[in-house]
Structure 1
Amino acid sequence: LVSIGRKFNVDEIGLEELGIEKNPNASIKTNQSMQTNIPNIYAIGDVAGKWLLAYTASAEGTVAAANCAGQKTEINYAGVPNAIFTTPEVGSVGLREKQAEERGLNVRTGQFLFRVLGKAQAENEIEGLVKVVADADSDKVLGVHIVGAHATELIHECALAVRLELTVTELGNAFHAHPVMSEAILEAVHDVHGLSIHNPKQL
């Protein structure tokens, strides 16, 4: 696998003639309303150089269209999930432990292995884990990272938690059906405070 990156395709589309400003990496400079320095011209998606994802581009398009129609709205990138469709899958949202520490936060983490889940055993998908990164002072969920089967689906509950700035306690109080793969999230959340009764390291 060779990854060579992407280049913004903004050459010869008239940006210079219109006086539209670009970022140092050649993407089009926009504000949070997706507006360029020319008030009635907007840019979204890869050419705007933000997240370079289809689903963020769609959200940016909605924001741009609303502003074109006279509404006043801004894009909010809080809780954007990352999904990697490999085997095993990877789902991630928010800060990693090292990133949180580099910001000077007092970090606490919780983990849970898939192999303990009844649903994972039934589906023979026991290789995987969930890691929760939390602020020990505020109890807020800072990030969640999942490797294993269905990780790209499981991450969305966590993305909502990060976007809404839920605490570990609030997320841990959410009901989860049994047996389901998302119980791994619940157990990892409980493990932040050492309350995961199904976590092998607690036995």
Structure 2
Amino acid sequence: MLLAGLSLYLLVTLGMLLAPNIDVLIGMRMLLTANSRAKINHETEGFVKILADANTDRILGVHMIGPSVGQLIGEYCVVAMEFSASVEDIALTCHPHLTRSEAGRQTAMGVHGWTMQA
């Protein structure tokens, strides 16, 4: 894991995944401007992005940039990747409203083009 200012990356870049010809799904960048907790705290700079294996849906890497993303890195990157969680596993897991954790779930939903808000 790399820590640089407000950024957290789980040592996987898109270039690293494309080199061995892994078919990669890239979740759209979930901007923190769309996260309710970030808006309330006036900390809307940043985003969350998920990289997944297109064949297995397994999470291969997560990019997070923004205030307090260190609070999210454990669930979305380390735990999910350690237990071979799929993007769908994260998308179907309940996350409480008005928390930063919603950003990761919404990003996971976006990987497959699911509606994020009804």
TM-score by length of 1: 0.54
- Which letter does structure 2 place at the counterpart of 1:195? W
Please state if 1:120 is matched with 2:61.
no
User: Following the alignment from structure 2 to structure 1, what is the Cα–Cα distance between the partners of residues 38 and 53?
Assistant: 29
| Among 50, 69, 73, the residue aligned to 1:151 | 69
Partner of 2:83: 164
Deviates more, 1:135-144 or 1:102-111: 102-111
Q: Does 1:179 align with 2:108?
A: no
CA contact (8 A) 2:2 2:11 kept: no
Q: Report the CA distance between 1:196 and its aligned residue.
A: 4.2
Q: For the pair shown, which has the larger CA radius of gyration, 1 or 2?
A: 1
**Deviation of the 1:176 alpha carbon:** 0.5
Which deviations, in whole Å up to 9, do the C-alpha atoms of 1:57-103 show, x marking residues without a partner?
Answer: xxxxxxxxxxxxxxxxxxxxxxxx3333x2xx111215222211112
> Which ranges of 4 or more aligned residues in structure 1 deviate by more than 2 Å?
81-84
Q: What corresponds to 2:108 in structure 1?
A: 189
Whole-Å separation in 2 of the counterparts to 1:94 and 1:157: 16
Letter in 1 for 2:88: T
The corresponding residue for 2:3 is 83
Task: Kindly report the root-mean-square deviation, in angstroms, between the aligned alpha carbons of the 2 structures.
Answer: 1.3
C-alpha distance in 1 between matches for 2:115 and 2:10: 22
Return the letter of the residue paired with 2:81. Answer: V
Pair 94,168 (structure 1): closer, same or farther in 2 beyond 3 Å: farther
Aligned residues: 115
Q: What stretches of structure 1 of length at least 5 have no aligned partner?
A: 1-80, 199-203
Q: Percent identity?
A: 27
